[in-house]
Each structure stands twice: as C-alpha cells, then as structure tokens.
Structure 1
Amino acid sequence: MRLAPRSPRLLAGLLGSAGVLHFARPLPFDTTVPRLLPGSARTWTYVSGAVELGLAAAVAAPRTRRAASLAAAGFFVAVLPANVQMAVDWRDKPAAMRAAAYARLPLQAPLVAWAIRASRDARG
C-alpha cells in the first residue's frame, strides 16, 4: 500500500506533540513509568520525551526517514510496558479512565505498523 505523502509528516507530528507533552505536562507520564525501572520516573519521562522529539525531527526529514521510522516502530514497542502499567494502575479508576487506559494497549500495534509503512516512503 502506498502512503499518502503527508503520512510520514503526520507521524512526525504525533511524535513531536507527544514529546512536547512529556516536558509541558510530565506528571501524567511519570505515573506510567514502570516501577521496576531504575532511577526517577521524571528522568524516564524526560528521556522518552527527548527521544520522541528526536524521532519526530528524523521522521520528518526524507534523508533520515527510513531509519527513524523503524526506530519509531521500536520505540512504540518499547513503551508498551508503560501502557500496561497505566492499565494496571487505573483498574480502580472511573470507567471512562479505565477504558482510555485499556484502549491504549492495542493502539500500539497500528502505531508500529504506521511507522513501518512510513519507513518505506523516504521521499517525503
């Protein structure tokens, strides 16, 4: 399937927006950091935000899009434990919040697929 030319740019926009949110509103991200990771949750929040910003810039550029999109696919897999942590921690929250937490889990698969497809369109 051929991607619309804007699809990689939309992926870059998604990554960039998420990256900015990690710095502008870090607390919600802090709470999803799996407790087994060493160091502070805030450090992991900032590191993941910086990674998202870097990936966004690299996905947006046609010369680095292929490698960056594949790296983004790996990143989406790597953050799945944070989404699982959120679902576990929110199991006693109101129904709407629980539903949002559970909905994030299967969302990773289409994000990975989108990033892989974007890697095939290095022209822009």
Structure 2
Amino acid sequence: MSASFPPDLSKNEQIGIAAVLLLTFVYSLVVAGQILLWFALVGVAVGIYIAYLLVLAVFRMVEAVERLAVAVETRNEVDQTQTSEAGVTSGGTSGAVEFGTGADESDTDDAPSGADADGSDPAAGDHESDESGDDTEA
C-alpha cells in the first residue's frame, strides 16, 4: 500500500478522469437533455471514490494497530526476560514479580515518616534545597 493518502494520480489518470467527466456532461446535455443526470452520475462516481478511500483508511488503521501490538508484545517479552533473569540472579526466586509501593524496605526504615526524598523532615523547617530564596522547595 502506498505511503501517500489519498493515492497520487498520474498525469494520464488525471486526463482520463477529466475526459470521462466531460463526456458524461456532454451526454447529459445533448442526448438526455437533463443536466441533473450528470450530477447523479458524478455523485455515484464520487461516492464510489469516497468508499474506496474509506476502505484504504481502515486498512491503514489495521496496519497501525498491528504495528502497535507487535511493539507492545516485544516490549513485554523483553520486560519478562529481564525480570526472570533478575529473579534468578538475586537469590534463586522463581522469577515472580511482586508489585508494591515501589520503595525498598531498607529505605523506609532510615527516614522519619514525614521525610522528603533527601531524608529531611519538611515540617522541621529544612530549607537546604531552597537555593532561590523564595521559601519553596524544588
């Protein structure tokens, strides 16, 4: 499938479409004597073209979703491989991943319960990280 959307028409295709439009217009005026017949014919042709573009758009969306699915699947396989390797080297566990708060137990024992990331208590008036002088912590 081409990368451009809608597909680019060659010069010959453009001339052919213009000729068909001109011939149908002349037919509707001279032979049938009804100009509305030409608009009906052109309306059907435009409807078919729009349906074609819709089908192309759906195919492009399907391809994009497939690419996303492959990327997610690859990322998940890499993550599973890394966690299983990390589980085997860190003490022979079965590779099961435990989900928690994200903090190590050793880190929470060292700092008080209301401490910042640097281990200081913000209620105690610690302003070491405030270098700008406006009494706000970064």
TM-score of the alignment, normalized to the shorter chain, above 0.5? no
Which one has the largest radius of gyration? 2
Greater relative CO (CA pairs within 8 A, separation 6+) = 1
Using structure 2 for the length normalisation, give the TM-score.
0.27
TM-score (norm 1): 0.29
